[in-house]
Amino acid sequence: MANQKIVSINPATKEEIGSVTSDSIDTLTPVFERAQKAKESWAGLRLNQRARRIRFVRKTLVAHMDELSELIAAETGKTNWEGFLEVFTTVEHMRHIGRHGPEYLRTELRSSGLFQNKRSYINYVPHGVAGIICPWNYPLILTATPVVEALMAGNTVVLKPSEVTPLTGQRMAELFHEGGIPEDVLQVVQGYGDVGAAIVDSPLTDMICFTGSVEVGRKIAVACAEKLKPFILELGGKDPIIVLEDANLERAAGAAVWGGFSNCGQTCISAERIYVVESIADEFIELVKSKTSDLKTGPDKTNGDVGALINNHQHEKVMGHIKEAVANGANVLYGGNDLSDLGGYFIAPTVLEVTNHESEIMTRETFGPEIAIMRVKDETEAIEKANSSSYGLSAAVFSKKKRGQKVARRINAGSVCVNDIMTNYLVADLPFGGVGISGIGRVHGPEGLHGFSQIQAIMVDRFGMKKEPWWYPVGPGIQKLFKILTRWIYG
């Protein structure tokens, strides 16, 4: 696939909007070598100097906000508003990292315990060259955030955007360079899976961060394990909502509709499974149907609500899940119809009531504009069903606040919102990542920056005595003294 033209298609119109050239495998080694060469000078900058560069980049992105919003919308098929929200979320994360990154990465004193003649602390030092492989569904925020965290931590970056949305990643990197990030510190390579595999396999990359499918994530984990190379995996989800009888149903229904249909449902933390207690199910379902019926789907990027799916493969997958659910007894409460006649990869926002918990629409990530509702007897059954999935990325609970927080503790998920949905991703200080097959490691917050760092423990002798008591030779008096001290301190 070397030097192959990669064409970017607008999913809402199926029109070409631009192209890039795929890098060949034999041209990647010089890229990695430049990143290796640049890593010492970049890591040598003080934390405040790196933070200042990130602030300059943020201002550059804001200056090009409208351009980026329109490019994102064109490459992904989402609305202009959704494209803007992606830019907004990106610069908010950059604001937080630029302000708090030095604090999270500074030298941290640790207790020396009994050894008061020692000074102990830890340093957060960069891995070196970070290979970052990014997805198509949010081509700016899911690219910029790990890149900025890697840079703030002192790494150089080799970035591969998705081959489905190559233009956004390319333009983002250009703006980073314009904002003051040296070209060898952040390099972009374009291509398909073979280019991503080369980044993972290269001995010149020191860590990997991948956002994408579980299947590819497993392959990356195996490849990194063979080389003992650190990695962060942000993978898929089959995210549940639990709606209990004391919930604010108006808010819960609004959250379900926005969580299920924003970005055409192509969000790893979207609302895919909803478990609602029987006693309030009818009222909740009517609210969801009513709110869904108000949504406008189609190529109108200015006034529309729900845009297009990314491509024909995703369109067929979502329609297949809906048909399989109906074959297994699901009732289509709203939507379910193919809207390809609008000129793009459109499907009507779909609300289903499901009775078969083993159907694909309840067990496999759909990644499309559908929400599946299932009635449950009580809180206990809702939690059991929510936890029955191998995924564990995100969840939401709607109930009285204290009760909701107690339920949240019992959910197997890396993130849980109480009386909200997906907003946790906007909170830049909260770590983000999954359990189970939804991933390993975290981005965002101090945990994210630490994931792009190695922890180096330092111990310094304070007084310079001639020798330590346990060094050779150890006489009987010292041995006796240590036994007395052990009984006195620990006995």
**How many angstroms separate the CA atoms of 375 and 79, rounded?**
33
* Residues 206/229, Cβ–Cβ less than 8 Å: yes
CB atoms closer than 10 angstroms to residue 439: 27
Q: Which CATH number fits the domain that encloses residue 259? A: 3.40.309.10
Domains contained in the chain, number? 2
Q: How far apart are CA 462 and CA 490, in angstroms?
A: 25
Which has the closest alpha carbon to 274: 246, 295, 253?
A: 253
- 276 touches 255 (CB < 8 A): no
Structure tokens at 419: 């009386």
pLDDT one-digit tens code per residue, 292-307: 999 999 999 999 999 9
In this structure, the answer to whether residues 196 and 319 fall within a common structural domain is no
d(CA 68, CA 83): 8
CATH code of the domain covering residue 209: 3.40.605.10
Whole-structure pTM over 0.95, yes or no?
A: yes
> What's the confidence (pLDDT) of residue 356?
97
Residue 469 lies in a domain: no
Q: Are residues 421 and 447 in the same domain?
A: no
Question: Which DSSP helix (H) or strand (E) runs through 272?
Answer: none
- Asked whether residue 417 falls in the same domain as residue 448, the answer is no
Q: How confident is the model at residue 1 (pLDDT cuts 50, 70, 90)?
A: low
Catalytic residue among 134, 209, 268, 417: 268
Amino acid, res. 93: H
- 473, part of any domain: no
Respond yes or no: is residue 234 known to be catalytic: yes
pLDDT at residue 173 is higher than 70: yes
For residue 268, indicate whether it is catalytic: yes
Helical pair 65-76 and 166-178, crossing angle rounded to 10 deg: 160
Residues 115 and 254 in one domain: no
CA angle at residue 77 from 72 to 431, to 5 degrees?
A: 55
Average pLDDT, the chain: 98
| 111 secondary structure, DSSP code | -
- For residue 234 the two structure tokens come to 């942000």
Kindly state whether residues 218 and 114 are assigned to the same domain.
yes
Catalytic residue among 234, 353, 365, 379: 234
Question: Is 75 among the domain residues?
Answer: yes
Domain that holds residue 310: 240-430
137 within some domain: yes
Distance CA 439, CA 146 (A): 15
Same structural domain, 96 and 147? yes
Confirm if 381 and 427 have CB atoms less than 8 A apart.
no
> pLDDT (tens digit, 9 = 90+) per residue, 207-233?
999 999 999 999 999 999 999 999 999
Maximum distance among all alpha carbons in the chain? 91
